[in-house]
A and B are shown apart, each in its own frame.
Chain A
Amino acid sequence: MSEGKEKEMIKVEKLNKSFGDLHVLKDIDLKVNESDVVVLIGASGSGKSTLLRCLNFLEIKNSGKIVIEGDQIEQETHDLNKVRERVGMVFQHFNLFPHKTVLGNIIEAPTQVKGISKEQAIKEGKLLLDKVGLGDKYNVYPSTLSGGQKQRVAIARALAMKPDVMLFDEPTSALDPELVGEVLSTMKELADDGMTMVVVTHEMGFAREVGDWVVYMHDGKIVESGIPIDLFDNPRKERTKEFLGSIL
């Protein structure tokens, strides 16, 4: 975002989304450059999770443009399953597959969707588990893991599809406080590796430290956005000041 010469990974223009009479996203504009970490903050109900879900087409927009890697994605012209292969997602409640082992969770999509051989998927899956610090847990079922471990498996599962972008929907909100750190440090490593990330979070420390660009949303609109130091230390809008005052 800072330079303007970088490759544009996601561009959103005048995005609108309603659920029935409820207008959840109002004319959202957003850009995410390659290798950037964009953090969405705001109160519950401000529309930040819906925005994230629109980027993955789990919710289908009502109007506006979503461009991913230069390609304007429309439900009518694109196979959204193919698009979702490129856009990984990590959920608040992990959503691991409870009937599959940790490794089974990770190799499911590569083998079933991409048609990668099982041996290859297992090899890559074990490397990913090593990367998130769970190399010894490949053969257990998710029910035996802590929340933090589950979320790290979920991150590895999304990475197994080799996505170009990773979306995180409040990845630490369902965790006990002492388990938040291990997930955030996994995400930080991912950011350091150059992964493009869009993160909805209430962890302001993470937003400040890891974020390249912070977007504050309220009532379905983007109120203010900027680099972390500007947004956190010198917010321009009254709304933003109020929000930051209420949480810090």
Chain B
Amino acid sequence: MSGIKHFFDVFINSFDVFVEGFKITIYLSVASLLIAFIIGLFFAILKISNVKILQWIADAYIWLVRGTPLIVQIFVLYYGLTEIILLDKFWAGVAGLAFHSGAYIAEIIRGAIQSIDKGQTEAGRSLGMTSGLTMRRIILPQAFRRAVPSLGNQFIIGIKDSSLVSFIGMQELFGVASTQGSNNFDYLPFYLTVAVYYLIIVLVLTVLVNMLEKKMAQSD
């Protein structure tokens, strides 16, 4: 019983420091996932283009990301980028996370685009729409709708993966938990506390994604 009481004490007393970490986790996640989405869309379009060299570029990127651990990507980008263009830790972390999630998002979007019936493209083209206009107005809106559940899942993974940038010294949620744990020689309550914060973030995101899915299902 005293263990449980101790955890609640830690949870309540550490609120102020965790709020700072929480903010950084949210900034990291939002920035990296926005950029990852743009990267993903870009490489998805390269992959479905009919130009071999563009497909190869997309394949190489996806192979590189899937073939190496995220922690390695973060360290390489951190030590690499901070040497060359003097990125601060935050943006090196964002770059690493975005570079990583972008590959998975590219595959999700590519799959969704290719799942849209070919007749949709033909209908657009038969009305005089260019291939670009057909993609933008007809295919992508339907593809995004279909991709919402998978994208939501990938965003959840992205938020949890942001904990890895604590290893380059970011004091986001997990970084705060590690620091507090070792400062107090009392690890478990701080790691349990940080788990609660992640659970809350993921719960909120899950509810948002479900609402979005319902809203988008209106036309079906």
List the interface of chain A (C-beta within 8 A of B).
Answer: 56, 58, 81-82, 84-85, 87-89, 91, 93, 95-101, 108-109, 112-114, 141-143, 154, 157-158, 161
B219 touches A141 (CB 8 A): yes
Assembly CA distance A154 to B126 (angstroms): 12
Could you tell me if B123 and A95 are in contact, using CB atoms closer than 8 angstroms?
yes
Q: Once the chains bind, are B127 and A108 in contact (CB under 8 Å)?
A: yes
B9 at the interface (CB under 8 A from A): no
Residues of A with C-beta under 8 A to B120: 95, 97
Chain A CB count within 10 A is highest, among B123, B145, B220, for B123
Q: Min CB distance, B145 to chain A, in Å?
A: 7
Residue B17 lies at the interface, judged by CB distance under 8 Å to chain A: no
The proximity string for B residues 168-209 relative to A, scoring 1 for CB distances below 8 Å and 0 otherwise, is 000000000000000000000000000000000000000000
- Selected from B117, B119, B128, B145, the residue in CB contact (under 8 A) with A109 is B128
Asked if A91 meets B123 with Cβ closer than 8 Å, knowing A98-B220, A112-B133, A143-B219, the reply is yes
| A109 to B127 CA separation, bound complex (whole angstroms) | 6
A-B contact pairs, 25 of them (CB 8 A): A56-B126, A84-B127, A84-B128, A87-B126, A88-B126, A88-B127, A89-B122, A89-B126, A91-B123, A91-B126, A95-B123, A96-B123, A97-B138, A98-B219, A108-B138, A109-B124, A112-B137, A113-B128, A113-B133, A143-B220, A154-B123, A157-B127, A158-B126, A161-B127, A161-B128
Known: A93-B119, A113-B128, A154-B123. 16 other contacts (CB 8 A): A81-B125, A84-B126, A88-B126, A89-B122, A89-B123, A91-B122, A91-B126, A96-B123, A97-B142, A98-B142, A98-B220, A99-B145, A108-B137, A112-B137, A113-B129, A142-B219
Choose one: B119, B123, B127, B220; the contact of A113 (CB below 8 Å): B127
B130 contacts the other chain (CB 8 A): yes
Give the distance in Å from the alpha carbon of A193 to the alpha carbon of B138 in the complex. Answer: 31
Write out the residue numbers on chain B whose beta carbons fall within 8 Å of the beta carbon of A93. Answer: 117, 119
| Residue with the greatest number of chain B CB neighbours at <10 A, chosen from A96, A99, A109 | A99
Q: Report the tally of A-B residue pairs with Cβ distances under 8 A.
A: 73
Chain B contacts for A98, CB-based, 8 A = 142, 219-220
Q: Is the interface of B mostly helix, strand, loop or mixed?
A: helix
Interface code B61-85, partner A: CB below 8 Å = 1, 0 otherwise? Answer: 0000000000000000000000000
Interface centre among B125, B137, B142, B219 (most CB of A within 10 A): B219
In the bound assembly, the distance between CA atoms of A141 and B219 in angstroms comes to 6
Residues from chain A with a CB closer than 8 A to the CB of B218 are: 141
In the bound complex, CA of A184 to CA of B123 (Å): 20
CB proximity of B31 to chain A, nearest CB, Å: 29
Interface string of B112-153 (1 = CB under 8 A from A): 000001011011111111100100011001100100000000
| Bitwise interface map of B from 88 to 128 toward A, beta carbon under 8 Å scored 1, else 0 | 00000000000000000000000000000101101111111
- Within 8 Å by CB of A81, from B130, B137, B138, lies B130
What's the Cα separation between A1 and B161 when bound, in Å? Answer: 70
How many residues on the B side are at the interface (Cβ–Cβ under 8 A)? 21
CA distance A81 to B134 in the complex (A): 11
Take A95-B122, A112-B133 as given contacts and tell me if A158 and B145 are in contact as well, using a CB distance cutoff of 8 Å. Answer: no
Q: A110–B138 Cα gap in the complex (Å)?
A: 14
Q: Which residue of B lies closest to A101 (CB)?
A: B219
Residues of A within 8 A of B128 (CB): 81-82, 84-85, 109, 113-114, 161
The answer to whether B123 and A97 have CB atoms under 8 Å apart is yes
Chain A residue contacts of B117, Cβ below 8 A: 93, 95
Please name all residues of chain B whose beta carbon is closer than 8 Å to the beta carbon of A58 when the two chains form the complex.
122, 125-126
CA distance A99 to B217 in the complex (A): 9
Residues of A within 8 A of B127 (CB): 84-85, 88, 108-109, 113, 157-158, 161
Contact of B126 with A112 in the complex, beta carbons under 8 Å: no
Q: How far is the CB of A151 from chain B (nearest CB, A)?
A: 12
A56 vs B137: C-alpha distance when bound (angstroms):
21
Give the top 8 A-B pairs by smallest Cβ distance, nearest first. Answer: A85-B128, A109-B127, A95-B123, A95-B119, A89-B126, A141-B219, A84-B128, A113-B128
Question: Shortest CB–CB separation between residue A84 and chain B, in angstroms?
Answer: 5
Q: Complex Cα distance A56/B2, Å? A: 78
Q: A91-B122, A99-B142 are in contact. Are A109 and B219 (CB under 8 A)?
A: no
